[in-house]
Amino acid sequence: MMRIAFVGGGNMGEAMVSAIASKKLATASSVGVSDVSRERRQHLARQYGVTVTDDNRRVLAGKDVVVLAIKPKDLTGVMSELKGLVTEGQLVVSIIAGARLDILSRGLEHQAVVRAMPNTPARIGEGMTVWTATTQVTAPQRAQAAAVLGAMGAQVEVGDENMIDMATAVSGSGPAYLFFFVEAFIDAATHLGIPQDMAERLVRATVLGAGHLLDRSGQDPAELRRMVTSPGGTTAAAISRLEEGHFAGLLQAAVEAAYRRAKELAGG
């Protein structure tokens, strides 16, 4: 069983606490969470039985893994507070958007650091996390990182830190792209005259079912699309209009915009 400290108990931090508990990677008594919000501390203690504190330094004591789950705006202050206090043998895992490995290592005066980018489906154990590590992270620590991050869903380690910014634009921001598409899809259905509640039910079921088919069939998405698209049929008419509107090019431009912003946040 691992001993894990969370510096910050926000939504993603709680998702990790929940996932770790469900996968039995740590006992409740071996998980500590620090948070400035008394309300959050009470909620986490009541919901998961973890130890809580408002002292970021105290929560580190005796832990194997230290997860930084704070907001980017709080990073400088927290690093100043914890500088030199992370001990040799402890692994730091950061899920802070834009916080590069070199900044974390210098700010904490600690070399064993993992930078990870999870996404919101981690809240239900269906997340996608891309992560990278400094060269000082040992093989056992890599296994710890893979276990902690994998508890939230799928996880992929990459050797190039620049891939984290790319993943931020794809899997990190990706759920919002899909939710935006679903919003527009529902609006389109209601515009035809379908009642709102029925439109939502139809679109949700369609998106969920198509996603499961894509996952389980093992077929290429283009192949699945062709299976649905009969020449001269209704689907072909719809796809033609999407192509006329440069749907694929617009999506590419959106992902590239997210990537540029991710690089800006990371100081790249």
Render pLDDT for 52-68 as a digit per residue (tens, 0 to 9).
999 999 999 999 999 99
Render pLDDT for 68-88 as a digit per residue (tens, 0 to 9).
999 999 999 999 999 999 999
Question: Do 2 and 25 form a contact (C-beta atoms < 8 A)?
Answer: yes
Count the Cβ atoms, other than its own, within 10 Å of residue 65: 23
Question: 10 with 50, same domain?
Answer: yes
Residue 54: domain span: 4-159
Q: What CATH number did the domain enclosing 127 receive?
A: 3.40.50.720
Question: Do 161 and 188 form a contact (C-beta atoms < 8 A)?
Answer: no
For position 122, what pLDDT does the model report? 93
In sign, the C-alpha dihedral spanning 222, 228, 230, 232 is negative
Given a cut of 90, whether residue 267 has pLDDT beyond it is: no
For position 78, what pLDDT does the model report? 96
Given a cut of 80, whether residue 268 has pLDDT beyond it is: no
Question: 117 with 220, same domain?
Answer: no
Nearest residue to 64 (alpha-carbon basis) of 34, 95, 29, 92: 92
Question: 147 with 196, same domain?
Answer: no
Nearest residue to 100 (alpha-carbon basis) of 143, 69, 71, 134: 134
For position 121, what pLDDT does the model report? 94
Question: 178 with 155, same domain?
Answer: no
Of 113, 134, 159, the residue at which a domain comes to its end is 159
Question: Do 8 and 96 form a contact (C-beta atoms < 8 A)?
Answer: no
Would 34 be classed as within a structural domain?
yes
Would 95 be classed as within a structural domain?
yes
Distance of CA 91 to the CA centre of its chain: 19
Query: What is the average pLDDT across 80-107?
Result: 96
Residue 184's Cβ-side half-sphere holds a number of Cα atoms within 13 Å equal to 6
Question: 155 with 226, same domain?
Answer: no
Render pLDDT for 6-56 as a digit per residue (tens, 0 to 9).
999 888 999 999 999 999 999 999 999 999 999 999 999 999 999 999 999
Would 166 be classed as within a structural domain?
no
